[in-house]
A and B are shown apart, each in its own frame.
Chain A
Amino acid sequence: MSLTIDKIALILGMALMLTGLWGGFTQKNLLKIILSFSIFDTGLNILIVALGYLPGRTAPIIEGEVVTQENLALVAIDPVPQALVLTAIVIGFGITALMLVFALKMNQDKKTLDINQFNDLKW
């Protein structure tokens, strides 16, 4: 098995997802948990884009003589994962911003970011 560029991107995305998951499970600081979520999100986006890649092809954009309207389906890659990832990045930004603001409010409440101090919902 040769390591083509899509395999490398798959491995990178999966490694980032595992790193983010590990960080989310083990970190105690709220900011680090949010950072782990961001890392997981980035890995997932890389994974989705890598799944739409075809070897030797170019971006789905008409450009001069190389990529014309007629041969677009033969020389361009799958545009659907890229459109999905565009959506996913924006939603990820919104969720991260909300989590950061909640962390700010929690910090104002208890003057700490240690997740072990927030035991109101613990049973």
Chain B
Amino acid sequence: MKMRNSIAIALVLIFGIFLFRIFEYHHTSTSLNNSATYYNTNAPAEVGTANVVTAIVVTYRGLDTLGEVTVLFLTALIIGYILKQKNREKSVVNYTSEILITAVNILIPASIILGVYVFINGHLTPGGGFQGGAIIATGIVLLILSNPSKLMNMKVLHFIESISGFTYILIGLAGLLFAGGFLDNRILPLGNIGNLLSAGAIPIIYSLIGLKVGTEISSILASINETKENTIKP
């Protein structure tokens, strides 16, 4: 046991030296590098978003985002497969506090509205599909916490998820046909920077991503909640 701890100490020390070298080498620069200058100069005119990060995530590196959504989809799929059971059973935990149940009824509509606001305004303000989806999923977590024995309607979750993922890919293909390439957002007019209806297809794509991420996280949590013996014995 002593031996193992000293190996761990040695490895952490080596990694610490590595990080310290990075820290020493790092110097605070005063001007942007080439790629950042390109994005900051051209993104608003080319893509039409007020938020440059959204322009990179959804359009310039849109294929990466498609891959990212695919990774989340695969995670939800694998978790659903591993925890699969023929007869879904109600959770053993039934008691939750009255305060939580009352608060959840107020908080769920608020969290869903906030999530929708965040992903619809993803091209104008900080935020976007992933953040909005996560906010919607917090509402679902509260629902599960307040009423663990309730079974989620998995069919509705999977339906929303598949429809939004499919439409996302269709919009990408439309970019291939009517604009410059796959996932190009200029299939719709760019509009004025700062308006809600601007930046071409970005608000639509980010809304679809938000719905997809929200339902995926919710279905992961629901399948963990509904599995048999979900009480862990330490």
Interface positions of A (Cβ within 8 A of B): 4, 6-7, 10-11, 14, 17-18, 21-22, 25-26, 29, 31, 51-55, 59-63, 69, 72-73, 76-80, 82-83, 86-87, 89-91, 93-95, 97-98, 100-105, 107-108, 111-113
Q: Is the CB of A51 within 8 A of B45?
A: no
* 26 residue pairs bridging A and B, Cβ less than 8 Å apart: A6-B28, A7-B28, A14-B22, A17-B19, A18-B12, A21-B12, A21-B15, A22-B8, A22-B12, A61-B51, A72-B44, A73-B41, A79-B36, A80-B36, A82-B53, A86-B53, A87-B64, A87-B68, A90-B130, A94-B71, A98-B75, A101-B83, A104-B224, A104-B230, A113-B232, A113-B233
Query: Any chain A CB within 8 A of the CB of B32?
Result: yes
In the docked arrangement, what's the CA distance between A113 and B233, Å?
8
A26 contacts across to B, CB distance below 8 A: 5, 8
Interface positions of B (Cβ within 8 A of A): 5, 7-8, 11-12, 15-16, 19-20, 22-23, 26, 28-33, 35-37, 39-41, 43-45, 50-53, 56-57, 61, 64-65, 68, 71-72, 74-75, 78-79, 82-83, 124-126, 128, 130, 193-194, 213, 217, 220, 224, 227, 229-230, 232-234
CB-CB nearest in chain B for A72: B40
CB-CB nearest in chain B for A11: B23
In the docked arrangement, what's the CA distance between A11 and B19, Å?
9
A79 contacts across to B, CB distance below 8 A: 36, 39-40, 43, 52-53, 56
Q: Find A87's partner among B19, B33, B65, B230 (CB 8 Å cutoff).
A: B65
B5 contacts across to A, CB distance below 8 A: 26
- Min Cβ gap B58→A in Å is 10
A95 contacts across to B, CB distance below 8 A: 75
Q: Is the CB of B71 within 8 A of A90?
A: yes
Q: Is the CB of A60 within 8 A of B232?
A: no
Supposing A21-B12, A55-B30, A98-B79 touch, asked if A80 and B193 sit within 8 A by C-beta, the answer is no
In the docked arrangement, what's the CA distance between A96 and B234, Å?
19
Supposing A61-B126, A78-B32, A79-B53 touch, asked if A104 and B12 sit within 8 A by C-beta, the answer is no
Q: Is the CB of B8 within 8 A of A25?
A: yes
Instruction: From B75, B82, B125, name the one whose CB has the most chain A CB atoms within 10 angstroms.
Output: B75
B53 contacts across to A, CB distance below 8 A: 60-61, 79, 82-83, 86
